[in-house]
Amino acid sequence: MMPIIFTVLLLSITAVSSVPKDRNGGEETNTSTLDNIEQANANLLSKQFSTSDIHSAPAGSISHLTYGDIMTDIIDDDGIVSNAVPCTSGSCLWNKTGNEVLVPYRITGFSGREKRIIQNAMNDLESGTCIRFVRKSKSDSSFVTFISGTGCWSYLGRQEGGQQISLQKNGCLFKDIVQHEILHALGYHHEQVRSDRDDNVIINFENIISGRENNFAIATTNNLDTDYDFNSVMHYGQFAFSKNGLATITPISSAVTEFGTATEMSANDFLRVNRLYQCFS
């Protein structure tokens, strides 16, 4: 098996996504995943959470959202405040047993119908990858807990100990959002912050809500020789965090007329999970 060295995990392959015309059997929509996440998280982006609010946060720490929906922990150590490492090495990958990557999980605070939405999103991801979601056992030290919290958010990559994925009942229980947050937990960042994004899009900072510019900061990424993917469920919409209704993201290629509207993982989202975890090596 070839070694993989990561800074922040991000993969993408350009291709046309095969997605349904609606989110959950409703009318056709062009609303982007990030538009819906942005709306659900509107009151959280400037909020800091105490340890009691985020159960997976280290003791004595506070947490906050970055990039719109990625939760990070800040630890005050002898007066020094620093961001916890979100996903900077292969250690944030989930463990692989044989040919399968096992992700222990539990679901709390949801009705049967709501649980099925989450479960169906996981089943779909499993169908095209070697990721296997398994019920958490007492012996599992690292696991994901799906909670009906405030907003839609996840940590980036596997964290030591239990970690949460928040899926607010009113706003986050859609297949694309569930898969988006799971992909964060598997180690994926947003598409438009990868290291080569300026070769593919123009960020119109003059149109971004004041104080939200850091959501568009380029991350240090290892793209593993893969192309930028406008069809990824991890891509922001054209008007993400717009203060004036004008585009915040403009494709450099005039051939790209729509992006950020995926209603489920694209074929390339599946492919990059398989590459990241060497599913078929």
Catalytic residues: 181
Query: Cα separation of 96 and 29, whole Å?
Result: 37
The alpha carbon of residue 126 and the mean position of all alpha carbons in its chain are separated, in whole angstroms, by 16
